[in-house]
Chain A
């Protein structure tokens, strides 16, 4: 049977982001790009979509933790950027709960976007490539974890 676990919609208290923005941001960037590279190495990301990311800059902001990550994809690897580009090619902004719901495939990005819980700015087509690339990933060993049920 399917697990009943689900991620609730929540917003962290404002003091979390007040502290979060003062912390160094590079550990998030390193962790995220390492994760993406691991997924790419496992051949879970389609090559034809990855090619479209070449040289493009991405910015992810978790609003209620104050976490901000900038990265790019170049020569086969996701690489952290240690300063945020003035105009990243693509920006995602949402609260932590929305990002977790997306990763767990509990909510649909269009749903979150319509409800204004997820903000996507920049190159819309690039956004679609990223969204569809993540949707097409077949998570091999993760479904046993409640967070990654699908």
Chain B
């Protein structure tokens, strides 16, 4: 048996059917956001209005699950009230916690709603225990989500030096992982997750099909050209193939997905409190597939951590929904720091 607690499974919900899919397939917790730029998945037609938010929260909480609201973009000059209103709304709706990135907003939430549980978003970019402890000391943060830049040893180092429970990513599309500090999308379009809540907003994206190939442009910048038999990826600068000194290749990052099934026992052993699945922009089908698989793996781990092994069926299910042709351990097992 596992001597420590099993990490909580935190699943994405971009719509009410996705939320229900997460709850029905074994999520301990779901995270969601309003239909506006106060969260980092502000895509057309995605997310919750007041009515679906209420229904979603009731659906999850009546089944003993938790609901987290992401308000994880940075308040824009002159519009700070919109972000404060979002925090007030979350408190009124009775969510179990809000996920915040901006220190000003953390300060507001901690003073205005002292009972509201605060999580430090991955967009807050806290990569050291000093940063995590600062957020705890100043704002009473009760959980921190670590950016996907740390090795497993570094995650363990953070956990050993803080009393703040730590959440890490367990599955989903990878980007350059410089969360909260990445301005590549702004470089191309003037808009980024930090400012408008979307990386490479769709209005700047153009897919063009011609015989034998498809080209992707972001605000006119050629990002990639795919042959008919090549997998496509999200249209972001970090996943483009560029001509560098006469060689064309993925100069920044290859389209890949993170998948931690192989190191799940290690993640539990070092004391990670929660594992997050990326993908509020994905459909209920994705949420069903990924939640079900991670739930099965966590349950197997809880049953007998010594005999835990990754089932091929789990990997096959996750490989199917992965972006890019490969799933990796990301930074967790990277030899360099």
* Contact between B231 and A114, CB atoms less than 8 A apart: yes
Contact A110 B283, beta carbon cutoff 8 Å: yes
Q: Which residues of A contact B45 (CB under 8 A)?
A: 46, 49, 52, 128-133, 136
Select the stretch in B83-91, B157-165, B200-208 that faces chain A: B200-208
Q: Does B121 contact A (CB under 8 A)?
A: no
For A132, the closest partner residue in chain B by CB is B45
Q: Is A3 an interface residue (CB 8 A)?
A: no
**A110 with B286, Cβ < 8 A, contacts A120-B207, A124-B205, A132-B15 known:** yes
- Whether A108 contacts B232 in the complex (CB less than 8 A), given A125-B44, A128-B45, comes out as no
Interface size class of chain A, counting residues whose CB lies under 8 Å from the partner chain: 20 to 34
| Number of interchain pairs (Cβ within 8 Å) | 101
Q: Does chain B have a CB within 8 A of A116?
A: yes
A125 with B203: CB separation less than 8 A: yes
Give the CA-CA distance A49 to B35 in the complex, in Å: 11
B200 and chain A: residue at smallest CB distance: A124
Return the chain B residue nearest A150 by Cβ: B284
A135 touches B15 (CB 8 A): yes
B231 — which chain A residues lie within 8 A by C-beta? 114-116
The residues in A between 101 and 150 inclusive whose CB is less than 8 angstroms from any CB of B are 105-111, 113-116, 119-121, 124-125, 127-133, 135-138, 150
B289 to chain A, nearest CB (A): 8
Chain A residue numbers with a CB within 8 Å of B282 are: 108, 110
Q: Whole-angstrom distance from the CB of B205 to the nearest CB of chain A?
A: 4
Whole-angstrom CA separation of A107 from B321 in the bound complex:
8
Q: Which residue of A lies closest to B229 (CB)?
A: A116
Question: Which of A106, A116, A138 is in CB contact (< 8 Å) with B17?
Answer: A138
B18 lies within 8 A of chain A by Cβ: yes
A116 touches B320 (CB 8 A): no
Chain B residue with the shortest CB-CB distance to A119 = B209
- Partner among B43, B49, B233, B285 whose Cβ is within 8 Å of the Cβ of A105: B285
B46 at the interface (CB under 8 A from A): yes
| CB atoms of A138 and B16 under 8 A apart | yes
Q: Quick check: B283 and A108 within 8 Å, CB to CB?
A: yes
Shortest distance in angstroms between B53's beta carbon and chain A's nearest beta carbon? 12
- Chain B residue contacts of A109, Cβ below 8 A: 283
Central interface residue in A107, A113, A135, by most chain B CB within 10 Å: A135
Complex CA gap A137/B45 in Å reads: 11
- B21 close to A (CB within 8 Å): yes
Within 8 Å of chain A (Cβ to Cβ): is B266? no
* B136 touches A (CB below 8 Å): no
Residue interface mask B20-38, A partner, CB < 8 A = 1? 0100000000000001000
Which of A108, A116, A121 makes the CB contact (< 8 A) with B285?
A108
B254 within 8 A of A: no
Name the B residues within 8 Å of A121 (CB-CB): 207-209
Instruction: Annotate B188-208 by CB proximity to A: 1 below 8 A, 0 otherwise.
Output: 000000000000011101111
Q: How far is the CA of A116 from the CA of B231 in the complex (A)?
A: 6
Q: A124-B205, A125-B201 are in contact. List 8 more A-B contacts (CB 8 A).
A: A46-B45, A48-B49, A108-B286, A114-B255, A125-B44, A125-B202, A132-B15, A137-B17
4 closest A-B pairs by beta carbon, nearest first, are: A132-B45, A108-B286, A125-B202, A136-B15
Sample (15) of A-B pairs whose CB atoms are under 8 Å apart: A48-B49, A49-B44, A52-B45, A105-B17, A105-B283, A106-B285, A107-B285, A114-B255, A114-B323, A128-B44, A132-B44, A132-B45, A132-B46, A136-B17, A150-B21
